[in-house]
Structure 1
Amino acid sequence: MANSVGAWIWSALLLFAFIASASSDESVAEETPSAVLTLDASNFSETIAKHPFLVVEFYAPWCGHCKKLEPEYEKAASILSKHDPPIVLAKVNANEEINKDLASTHGVRGFPTLKILRNEGKNIQDYKGPRDADGIVEYLKKQVGPASAEIKSSEDAVNFIDEKKVFIVGVFPEYSGEEFDNFTKLAEKLRSDYDFGHTSDAKLLPRGDTAVKGPVVRLFKPFDELFVDFQDFHLDALEGSIEVASIPVVTIFDKEPSNHPYVIKFFNNQNAKVLLFIHFSEQYFDSFKSKYLEVAENYKGKKMSFLLGDIKASEGAFQYFGLVESQVPLIILQENDGKKYLKPNLEPDQIATWLREYVDGSLTPFIKSEPIPELNDEPVKVVVANSLRDVVFNSGKNVLLEFYAPWCGHCKKLAPILDEVAVSLHDDADVIIAKMDATANDVPSEFQVQGYPTLYFSSAAGKLLQYEGGRTVDDFIDFIKKNKDSVVETIQSDPIKDEL
């Protein structure tokens, strides 16, 4: 997917706004041995081979969210070490060079990333539970038990089915046959996403129906129509039905932890995403909510998902988009390729009209960009979203472009090196060394920015290469000299010189 790191950063910023990550009041004494195993590339395979169930945190020492998680993870590991059987928690420093391939193999795109490894690592699932010690313990205890719990009584149903969560129950006359086998396989596959149960008596369930004999799958949910039944037991069809039914028509994004799983699902689905941000405490809230729900219902099944966000929980979204609170109420639509549309200072009656204009193709995409610098006289030229095409693709120059993040330690180390490269090549009028803050500007789809720093080289003839060589001054200069093209004489203007 184009600009995948941008999409990940956006959702991560939103989600971290309300993921529980409270710091523990108790600190682990230095002399106390850690209950968390420390793994690296040298002992990883050997360790997971010894454990049928293992939880691994991939972290970076500089990551603030990792530091907040650390005492909670340690406390949970200590508690779970006494579980019967013991549940083992481990960690890997993904920032170390020796472990980078390991992190890449396990799909680590941000920190912290937690994975559940079953059957000696043959079955790997994302950890999707809470980030506080008690929540980690409760979540993992369920993960080591059966994928689906048998409901034998009304008491079981009350104990298992949480009215604030999605719960999936299979009703079967007998616990055998293709339908039951497929249900069991799906429960094992999706157990990190949902809680599953099975019963032979539908009357035991909330809102029980004596007419339901099974086989049938009933999905309970705390929103919309409250439950949905499925009778297609083909694995793909059943999984698809569950995924669709488990996302609210309008996902609520606020600081309520029980909404966290639905926000995760909203960002993980492949639909175009519509986000309306308002003040939940304002008098206009009910008017916006009812109108937005009405519009969302009309677009059901049209590959568009809807979220209603409280501005108090949306600092990350506003930082990502480069927005300000004075634009609220505002609506944003983002497509899978990263293209965005935005309307600030919205009125409730404008929602439907604005979406119709989007569907008709009459809206202009929104591009987040810092202002084009009035002065750009440093050795490394500053590029922003609104100047990138002129500087990189339309200048007829050979351009080495760094995508960086202001907080990135590797980017800070690279900065003086690129300055020296730019100074060394100052007399070569065919070459530009440039940089762009990828957290403050939208990255065009031509660039696959998976982390920071990411460097690309665009030759004068338009050939685009991702730079994956060494990070010394000589490495960069040698690469540029080998890959640059002669500037075509018909190029009449230099956007950098024009700018200066």
Structure 2
Amino acid sequence: MVASVRLLSTVTLALFSCFLDVVSSRRDVLELGDADFDYLATEHETMLVKFYAPWCGHCKKLAPEFEKAATKLKGIVQLAKVDCTAHSETCGRFSVSGYPTLKIFRNGQDSAPYGGPRTADGIYQYMKKQTGPDSVHLKTEEDLQTFINHYDASIVGVFSSADSSRLAEFLKAAGLLREQFRFAHATDLKLGEEYGLDSEGALLFRPPRMANKFEDSVVVFTDYLTIGSLRRFIRDHIYGLCPHMTLENRDRLRVWDLLTAYYDLDYHHNTRGSNYWRNRVMKVASKYAGRGLMFSVANKKDFLSELEDDFGLGASDGGELPFVTVRTKLGHKYIMREEFTRDGQSLERFLDDYFAGRLKRYIKSEPVPERNTAAVKVVVAESFDDIVNDPGKDVLIQFYSPSCPHCKKLEPVYRELADTLSSDPSIVITKMNAVDNDIPLGYDVQGYPTIYFAPVGKKDEPIRYEGVRELKDFLKFLNREASHSLVFSGSKDEL
């Protein structure tokens, strides 16, 4: 009996502690409204404001991450929220048109839209960079060493004096790019001499954790300094031969054709082990430099859900060895099927096949239906080109999710539309499960159902359907956009 009481007390205390943590995180998010927004916002040098609606699903998903970030940023950056259903005047004043909308405020003034990740750690890292000066003033060699001995890369401008016109331009660039990169400056040319900079310019220091023998750890910028030229310099050199891809920088890296080796990478706790495989990737990468492919490494655990969804790979694939994928900027995907060998030979064979065009693209696709005789034709990724991109037919395609209630509601209307046009040999009404099939380039599917029309002669410019989802509205749209006069199975009164 005593043991049971003690156990109950322990559980009760644990639950109470969890409750206090939740309440505390919520209190760390400041609630603002029409009556007090201007008054309270001006009290904070830097503030991230979430404009939301209580019914919004994306807002509900963001809420716990936002609250965790608020607790981590307490005393550094204030996080706040505004319920736009209750405080429409404030939301209207800041042109909030969708939910959630996140904006950065400085001393109460709308400074910039928030463009960072929407995870607690991502918000924390992004907003932490928004504090302090745009560029740190370094006065001594010790200041410089402290600044560049950092987890991330560093850009340091070196100038002859505080009145230098190039310094003014450097500071403007730092203000524009501070959310992505770390900036510092010195007004003593001696600080640059050791690194090969004997006049005004800038130095890019790669992170010490990623030091290697295949590239320089410092890159010198000596061109005429403008915001544009410095931005290009950073873009071309910041990532080096083989960057560490994270959830925060992946979108910036994927503007290139990108090879990624995924493994148990952990630069916080095992730098040597992380670099063991990275150095092997870099050895091979150095042989293929300049051929239009960027190389990267990533923590497999961070990307498990993406790898499963996009490549059909699971946590056990590769074992302790890296597994390698290529994702091109056009969305084409390839997987290295051979085991990653320590001498790099398997990676070289994979790259030789890739550049020679011998690799088969990986396409996530359901099986092509053996029979496809219903009025609404089923499209899968493997059959998309054959059906939707048929050069002789107009095609309406609905991207849906099997669990979406709106898709289920649309189903009888969509089927009736297909039946109505079943006698028309020049138009096809189709649907594709967008969860279990790759969505082709050119089709932006963020929610379900999403409907596009791919007309004859304009397959690379599909038209998004934004109208009412009723039979007569679909028919009016198709009658307007189709490459031919529609042929109806029944009466033409539908129009």
**Structure 2-normalised TM-score?**
0.70
Percent identity over the alignment is 27
Tell me the SS of whatever aligns to 1:401: strand
Structure-2 residue corresponding to 1:188? 175
Asked whether 1:276 is paired with 2:261, we answer yes
Following superposition of structure 1 onto structure 2, how do residues 26-425 of structure 1 map, counting pairs within 5 Å?
26-28=21-23, 35-37=30-32, 54-57=47-50, 61-63=56-58, 65-75=61-71, 79=74, 87=78, 89-90=80-81, 114-116=102-104, 120-121=109-110, 123-124=112-113, 126-127=115-116, 131-132=120-121, 136=124, 140=127, 143-153=130-140, 156-157=143-144, 160-201=147-188, 209=194, 212-222=197-207, 223-224=210-211, 225-232=216-223, 233-253=225-245, 263=250, 265-267=252-254, 270-278=255-263, 289-325=278-314, 328=318, 330-347=323-340, 348-374=344-370, 380-394=376-390, 399-405=395-401, 411-423=404-416, 425=418
1:45-94 Cα shifts (integer Å, max 9, x gaps): 999999985534466842475133132245468x45xx7xx856445779
Cα distance in 2 between the residues matched to 1:389 and 1:99:
48
Native 8 Å contact 2:398 2:451 kept in 1: yes
Please, which runs of 5 or more residues in structure 1 have no aligned partner? 1-22, 254-258, 489-500
> What is the identity, as a one-letter code, of the residue corresponding to 2:120?
R
Cα distance in 2 between the residues matched to 1:91 and 1:474:
40
Structure 2 vs 1, CA of residues 139 and 314 (structure 1 numbering), >3 Å: closer, same or farther?
closer
> What is the identity, as a one-letter code, of the residue corresponding to 1:466?
R
Cα distance in 2 between the residues matched to 1:321 and 1:197:
39
Cα RMSD, aligned residues only: 4.7
Bigger radius of gyration: 2
1:272-329 Cα shifts (integer Å, max 9, x gaps): 1112335669xx9988644421122233344321122344333123223242347645
Measure how far apart 1:141 and its partner are: 6.0
Native 8 Å contact 1:228 1:245 kept in 2: yes
Cα distance in 1 between the residues matched to 2:28 and 2:154:
38
> What is the identity, as a one-letter code, of the residue corresponding to 1:35?
L
Tell me the SS of whatever aligns to 1:170: strand
**Structure 1-normalised TM-score?**
0.70
Native 8 Å contact 1:275 1:309 kept in 2: yes
> What is the identity, as a one-letter code, of the residue corresponding to 1:180?
L
Cα distance in 2 between the residues matched to 1:453 and 1:318:
24
Measure how far apart 1:99 and its partner are: 12
> What is the identity, as a one-letter code, of the residue corresponding to 1:471?
R
Native 8 Å contact 2:135 2:174 kept in 1: yes
Tell me the SS of whatever aligns to 2:23: coil
Count of aligned residue pairs for this structure pair: 437
Tell me the SS of whatever aligns to 2:183: strand
Measure how far apart 1:245 and its partner are: 2.3
Cα distance in 2 between the residues matched to 1:261 and 1:460:
40
1:311-362 Cα shifts (integer Å, max 9, x gaps): 4333123223242347645432222221233332344313223323333334
Native 8 Å contact 1:276 1:307 kept in 2: yes
1:446-470 Cα shifts (integer Å, max 9, x gaps): 5344554321124578775321211
